[in-house]
Amino acid sequence: MKARAISRGLGEGELLVSPVPLSFLSGVDPDTGTVIEKGHPLEGVTISGKVLAFPYGKGSTVGSYVLYALSRNGHAPRAIINTEAEPIIAVGAIIGGIPMVDRTAMPLSEMKSGMRVVVDGTAGTVEYDS
């Protein structure tokens, strides 16, 4: 499916979908890749090695650096899919070398965790097993 390319590269893996926004500053542990935001639907779940789909980011601009730290620590998502990218997540994906797209042809609400997906952040596409 078509999407808008945000951060170059190719990322493949199991899809992990959050129906709500995610903050990387104090919402994700940069040393483990575990979501630590209290009350978040993904609290206690690791994003490490997953293709992470969520509506958009929230919180401080330091969230960009947390994404970068996740990448340096080997705990970043393999790719990011957003409904609508905003600067904090886009910058973090770019500096962290994490492929990223937004504005996918399929709404986030129709994406299911566990699907196998390939995100091409250069071409702006997402392939998935239905």
The yes-or-no answer on residue 48 being catalytic is no
- Tell me which of 18, 23, 48, 60 is the catalytic residue: 60
**CATH 3.50.30.10 is the classification of domain 4-128:** yes
Residue-wise DSSP of the chain: -B-EEEE-SEEEEEEEE-SS-B-STTTB-TTT-BB--TT-TTTT-B-TTSEEEES-B-S-THHHHHHHHHHHTT-S-SEEEESS--HHHHHHHHHHT--EEES-SS-GGG--TT-EEEEETTTTEEEE--
Tens digit of pLDDT at every position of the chain (130 positions): 999 999 999 999 999 999 999 999 999 999 999 999 999 999 999 999 999 999 999 988 999 999 999 999 999 999 999 999 999 999 999 999 999 999 999 999 999 999 999 999 999 999 998 6
